[in-house]
Structure 1
Amino acid sequence: MQHDRPDASHPPPADVTCAVTVLMPCLDEAATIGRCIDKARRFLQTHDIAGEVLVADNGSSDGSAEIATARGARVLHVQQKGYGNALMAGIAAARGEFVIMGDADDSYDFANLEPFVQALHGGFQLVMGNRFQGGIRAGAMPPLHRYLGNPLLSGVGRIFFNSPVGDFHCGLRGFSRQAILGLDLRSTGMEFASEMVVKASIEGLRITEVPTTLSPDGRDRPPHLRSWRDGWRHLRFLLLYSPDWLFFYPGIVLFAAGLMASAWLLPGPRTVLGLNLDIHTLLFAAAGMILGLQSISFAFFAKLYGMRAGFLPPTALGLKIAEKFRLEHGLILGLIILLGGISGSVFAVGRWGAEGFGDLVPGSMMRLIIPSATAVIIGVQITLSAMLLGVLQIPVRDHQIASKK
């Protein structure tokens, strides 16, 4: 089956006579698309900018495409559903050196795009609108989005990816067409907005923000956005795109805490604030070590797979691991720890036999059994993880899988 989404890796050349493409994704926006196009065309004419208005129609059934054509816009029909599909098709088909994209619901002012154009001409490759700086008019954004969703998700993005963007989900943004095509964006749905900012931040593109105003949309139907569903999709994307924050850092904390607690409790019971901590706490500390190590190994799997699949950029640590790590290294380390655990277990059985396989003092015996069992589990974990990393490191040729009809 052939997909009709344009190949961003081999885009058509931009029209040298077109400086700016104003791109509007559209799905049943008949009530507002005409006003948005009029404002954008008026802006281009008023500021004497050679440009075009491009509508990426994603299967409208309300006459939006016909209205756009009548208002002087170029209409691109994108059959693959999804916000990301519509925008990537529009970016690939744009004729302008710069693209300014914005929702076609009349919530953004397409007549006031000069700050975006100035920043783009100033050398910035991604210019984000910031609604919190420019103003959010009454009724334009639900309180849940304004005070929780957007600040939370933008904050997570800033921390995870060291991004300078304070409004990750502003629908009005401008960018260098070639720079964004070079990011090889993959998201087909609403996550596209986050992916653009995340990849631009990781790749070191020059990013800035300009204040923009958000007005109540002019739709005569409910919005496509679903607060909790789409909010979770954006958060999930940010987490999955950052294996360090999702797996590595929590794993390091959990493993270190478990290791220190185990070492502290191994000699004997401890009393803290009147609480007696004994072998039961030692058991949970050992479980923390096991879970922490598992989480750390997941971070390496995710990072290596992400780099090979192309949706995570290569990092110095990831490349070093891929270059230096060998299956044999993990197998040797895992087997050493496994043998240590087996030896401790055999010794414990020997002590039990010396007592006639009868009852033993739990406090002393469990201080031998818990570390031994933990070492066995960790040794097996490391061995299996080494094998899986070895599988992920197998060289493969690029190939395409063609599905049969």
Structure 2
Amino acid sequence: MSTQSNSDGAPPLIDVVLPCLDEAAALPGVLAALPPGYRAIVVDNGSRDGSPEVAARHGALVVREPRRGYGAAVHAGLVAARTEIVCVLDADGSFDPGGLPILVAPVEAGTADLVVGRRRPVSAGVWPWHARAGTALVAALLRRRGVPVRDLSPIRAGRRAALLSLGVRDRAFGYPLELLIRAARAGWRIREIGVPYAPRAAGTRSKVSGSVRGTLRATRDFATVLRTVELPR
């Protein structure tokens, strides 16, 4: 797979993996907001709205992952990435890509191995109570085991080779939880930074927090991870 360059011909400094399922309405704005030197890898997970074509027209590298699931898309993006440090970001416009350098900085400086975002809703209703409550319960369990997080956010930064070496197996919504557990067990320095969490772009719908059904599906995946992956002691 060839590595795309930036508009000035320089190779990308940071690859940004964007799991994507029917995000055509959000992609133009998300891709345009990426900082200089950050290359988008849009991992299409079976979209029917033309998302891959929109992503390609706006300069992203498009990877197609036929196996459905958030974790499957993230893993495919990490495999396709070529930069030492990699970010993961939702493609629905709920996070500002311009804030990614804040997450990357501690990894670049060598003061953190994994930096994750803690969602800070910018307005009421952005993060429904059912999604927030489930996340809070799982995060509290992790903190009791020494994992310093209050969120299981889908925005993060780390070193590509190290992320792949953790051997995260979950290919569904349990991926962020398993990643944190395995990182903590490996002795990683995990840092959480607050990030604005805004309404997703018009014309898109959350696969998790947008409905009680989605939250229940994520809760099921979290429970599977907690049953099968040993927590840090």
User: What's the TM-score, normalizing by structure 2?
Assistant: 0.87
Give the Å deviation of 1:232.
3.0
* RMSD between superposed Cα atoms in Å: 2.3
Is 2:157 the counterpart of 1:174? yes
Instruction: Tell me how many residue pairs correspond in the alignment.
Output: 221
Give the 3 Å change call, closer, same or farther, for CA 80–121 of structure 1 in structure 2: same
- Using CA pairs below 8 Å that are at least 6 residues apart, which structure has the higher relative contact order? 2
Give the Å deviation of 1:109.
0.7
Give the Å deviation of 1:182.
0.8
Give the Å deviation of 1:229.
2.5
Give the Å deviation of 1:136.
4.3
Partners of 1:108 and 1:213 within 8 A in 2: yes
Q: By percentage of residues, which structure has more strand?
A: 2
Q: For 2:218 and 2:101, how far apart are their aligned partners in 1? A: 30
SS at match of 1:21: strand
- Provide the residue aligned with 2:16 in structure 1: 22
Give the 3 Å change call, closer, same or farther, for CA 243–34 of structure 1 in structure 2: closer
Is 2:117 the counterpart of 1:129? yes
After TM superposition, the structure 1 = structure 2 runs for residues 139-150 of structure 1, keeping only pairs within 5 Å, are: 139-146=125-132, 148-150=133-135
User: What's the TM-score, normalizing by structure 1?
Assistant: 0.51
Q: For 1:189 and 1:219, how far apart are their aligned partners in 2? A: 25
Is 2:212 the counterpart of 1:236? no
Give the Å deviation of 1:162.
2.0
Offset from partner CA, 1:327-353 (integer Å, 9 cap, x none): xxxxxxxxxxxxxxxxxxxxxxxxxxx
Give the Å deviation of 1:240.
3.1
- Provide the residue aligned with 2:197 in structure 1: 214
Partners of 2:121 and 2:196 within 8 A in 1: yes
Partners of 2:185 and 2:231 within 8 A in 1: no
Is 2:147 the counterpart of 1:163? yes
Partners of 1:138 and 1:216 within 8 A in 2: no
Q: 2:73 aligns with which of 72, 81, 86?
A: 86
Give the Å deviation of 1:179.
0.9
Partners of 1:29 and 1:219 within 8 A in 2: no
- Provide the residue aligned with 1:197 in structure 2: 180
Give the Å deviation of 1:114.
2.2
Partners of 2:92 and 2:204 within 8 A in 1: no
After TM superposition, the structure 1 = structure 2 runs for residues 27-38 of structure 1, keeping only pairs within 5 Å, are: 27-38=21-32
Is 2:66 the counterpart of 1:72? no
Give the Å deviation of 1:95.
1.4
Offset from partner CA, 1:95-125 (integer Å, 9 cap, x none): 1111111111100111222211211112122
Give the Å deviation of 1:223.
2.5
Rg bigger for which structure? Answer: 1
SS at match of 1:211: strand
- Provide the residue aligned with 2:211 in structure 1: none
Kindly provide the amino acid, as one letter, of the partner of residue 155 in structure 1.
Answer: A
Q: By percentage of residues, which structure has more helix?
A: 1
Partners of 2:121 and 2:127 within 8 A in 1: no
Give the Å deviation of 1:34.
1.4
SS at match of 1:212: strand
Kindly provide the amino acid, as one letter, of the partner of residue 126 in structure 2.
Answer: A
Structure 2: runs of 5 or more not aligned:
209-213
Kindly provide the amino acid, as one letter, of the partner of residue 149 in structure 1.
Answer: G
SS at match of 1:99: strand
Structure 1: runs of 5 or more not aligned:
1-11, 45-49, 245-314, 316-405
User: What is the percentage of aligned positions where both structures have the same residue?
Assistant: 31
Q: For 1:56 and 1:117, how far apart are their aligned partners in 2? A: 21
Give the Å deviation of 1:217.
1.1
